[in-house]
Amino acid sequence: MRSRRFHGVIGLVCLAIGFLVLWHALPIQAQGSAAAQGKPAFYDFGAKYCVPCKEMQKVVAELKPQYGDQVEFRLIYSDEEMPLFKQYKIVAIPTQVFLNADGKEVDRHLGALSKEEVLKKLKELKFIR
């Protein structure tokens, strides 16, 4: 009986810690980083050594020429812009953050996305026509 109670308490503690970690990773309002020129923005947070991040680099490189007039595409690397990682509370890479034209975060995704998935999300958020 004592062992069950102990495991129940441990389970609740783990649940509480997990909730706190996720709560801090939820989308936040961007402060002082409004999208350039009043455009919505797609920020991809990653690192140059990260294999999935390299895949995201390719996706951004494919989308930027066609949609760069409608959306600001930005690759943000941990070894170059750590203050932005802290500002957006990035806990894992790659993470994509979607900002509206006012610079407010409206969505985020953890993990790599395909070109088609990014396009779908940009259309869903009405960032592109």
The tens digit of pLDDT for each residue in 93-102 reads: 999 999 999 9
H/E element holding 84? Answer: helix 82-87
Q: What's the pLDDT tens digit per position in 31-64?
A: 344 445 589 999 999 999 999 999 999 999 999 9
- Please count the structural domains in the chain: 1
pLDDT tier for residue 21 given thresholds of 50, 70 and 90: very low
**pTM of the complete model:** 0.72
Task: Provide the percentage of residues in the chain whose pLDDT is more than 70.
Answer: 71
Pull the structure tokens for residue 2: 């004592």
Q: Which position has the token pair 């026509």?
A: 129
Largest distance between two CA atoms of the chain: 65
107 compared with 38, residue with greater pLDDT? 107
Residue 119 domain flag:
yes
Residue 8 domain flag:
no
Domain that holds residue 98: 29-124
Report the CATH number that the domain containing residue 85 is assigned in CATH: 3.40.30.10
Residue 35 domain flag:
yes
What is the amino acid identity at position 41?
Answer: A
